[in-house]
Structure 1
């Protein structure tokens, strides 16, 4: 195991398409692991990054354009799953990650990760999904309602605060909730979130099922908070049965962000999988 000082977590920046992109990383070398978020931001991976680095991996938890701490702004065109996947390949080139690379995705970031594997099996060595969108599990009803209402700044923050509180489940504290919602105090980031939500379409994941069935040489791992009311564990069970070389690990008493509810177990599971 690496010393804590060597695995020290840090936020870094790189230029992608002429815009400043922010990402969390740890460690100095070792095999890269690209970690993708969805309707939250790189904060969802924070509890496990140090563990990955201490195990000799080098994690890159990137904020998509216009989200989290990254500059720019998403539009309905640039927020689709295929467009985000293309953007991720440009990010990896910018930080000099050469494939094949291990990729993990949470929420819509899981759809982007699936797209990367389905469209270039040689580029992804291992795929991990954490309470990811699968099949026709998305968009979630509460997200659709927000798009219909076109919320103001205060209404938006109140709605996201409620969602974060529910998704964190037993890990919800005032400090953690404030940490998760902080980027949305910026109007540009709220608009980017609405663009990602507006571009959400289950056809992107449904279209990936046939090519994913052919990825017989790529190991896959699903880590699932069992109490997620939208990305239900039944979707993960179906994926495990249909997609070759897939293993499902359940996290009891966790909802949509199991990295916060059981960070040690999730980290160990990811380390065992990526370092195999």
Structure 2
């Protein structure tokens, strides 16, 4: 039976972090991370994932429905990885499975390579190697660009890029929900800070440790992604042990184009971590 999804809040370093939760408290924990979007990217598949896992789809500080505001230093991959570990501690979670999208995938790789707490990992259209930042993000590494970008400018750019992340045409209601966080100046600045902190050295430097850790990893990829090309996913499974790839119909947010296929691919990968289902 599909599980209900609730939004809750926890506190990390005095900052209220919002997260979506689904699934039984006794089920194996699955933490889900976003990148330049927010926890909304996971919403279409959380009811299905929650049938077998206790799911926690976090919003980073200054993103989604969370409080706080990130500066460039706080928005780096290593810094965000520490936020995830502190959130896991606050949730009473020691070891966990991990699913991540976009720049959140860089955070996930950091955790898989260094924390000793990740059991299995799923990377969905995630950054890796030197696949990032894409030009539309990289331009924000220039402080002048950040200073001269208004909330209205950013909102317009996010609207265009969000629709470009799906094959199907998102409804006005769906777009409004995706874009709603960036009505806030603090969240707009946090987005620009994450863009400014985007640096491929974080993922490139992790490659030797990822090879050694050999965390069981599944890449689930919208094959028509214009931002994170599937060639990088294919390279990952060639170079990193214990990794495989499932291609699905979709672009950068395949949970919007192929939610059932994405959920199935994730659940099949994580199946060894959950008890047998009794119906």
Q: What range describes the TM-score normalised by the shorter chain of this pair?
A: over 0.9
Aligned to 2:150: 152
Question: Pick from 235, 240, 244: which aligns with 1:243?
Answer: 240
State whether residues 171 and 260 of structure 1, in contact with CA within 8 Å, keep that contact through their aligned partners in structure 2.
Answer: no
Aligned to 2:121: 127
Q: CA deviation at 1:155?
A: 1.0
1:226 and 1:163 map into 2 onto residues whose CA distance is 17
Decide which moves more: 193-202 or 169-178. 169-178
State TM-score, norm by structure 1. Answer: 0.94
Aligned to 2:131: 137
Q: Determine helix, strand or coil for the equivalent of 1:170.
A: coil
Alignment of 1:131-210 (within 5 A): 131-146=125-140, 148=142, 149-150=145-146, 151-210=149-208
> Is 1:117 matched up with 2:112?
yes
> Is 1:259 matched up with 2:255?
yes
Superposed CA deviations along residues 86-140 of structure 1, whole A, max 9, x for unmatched, are 11100000111121x10011000000000001113x3110010000001011111
Unaligned runs of 5+ in 1: none
Superposed CA deviations along residues 139-188 of structure 1, whole A, max 9, x for unmatched, are 11111235553311111110110000101221522111111101000000
Aligned to 1:95: 91
Aligned residues: 267
State whether residues 75 and 195 of structure 1, in contact with CA within 8 Å, keep that contact through their aligned partners in structure 2.
Answer: yes
Moved beyond 2 Å, runs of 4+: 144-150
Decide which moves more: 166-175 or 38-47. 166-175
State whether residues 67 and 193 of structure 1, in contact with CA within 8 Å, keep that contact through their aligned partners in structure 2.
Answer: yes
1:171 and 1:114 map into 2 onto residues whose CA distance is 31
Aligned to 2:275: none
Q: Determine helix, strand or coil for the equivalent of 1:23.
A: strand
Unaligned runs of 5+ in 2: 273-279
Question: Pick from 35, 47, 65: which aligns with 2:44?
Answer: 47
Aligned to 2:276: none
Alignment of 1:21-60 (within 5 A): 21-29=17-25, 30-54=27-51, 56-60=52-56
2:99 and 2:19 map into 1 onto residues whose CA distance is 14
State whether residues 141 and 197 of structure 2, in contact with CA within 8 Å, keep that contact through their aligned partners in structure 1.
Answer: no
Aligned to 1:211: 209
Root mean square deviation, CA, Å = 1.2
Superposed CA deviations along residues 230-270 of structure 1, whole A, max 9, x for unmatched, are 21000000000000011100113x11000111001101111
State whether residues 138 and 198 of structure 2, in contact with CA within 8 Å, keep that contact through their aligned partners in structure 1.
Answer: no
1:231 and 1:44 map into 2 onto residues whose CA distance is 16
Aligned to 1:18: 14
1:240 and 1:23 map into 2 onto residues whose CA distance is 30
Q: CA deviation at 1:228?
A: 1.1
1:135 and 1:98 map into 2 onto residues whose CA distance is 28
State whether residues 100 and 122 of structure 2, in contact with CA within 8 Å, keep that contact through their aligned partners in structure 1.
Answer: yes
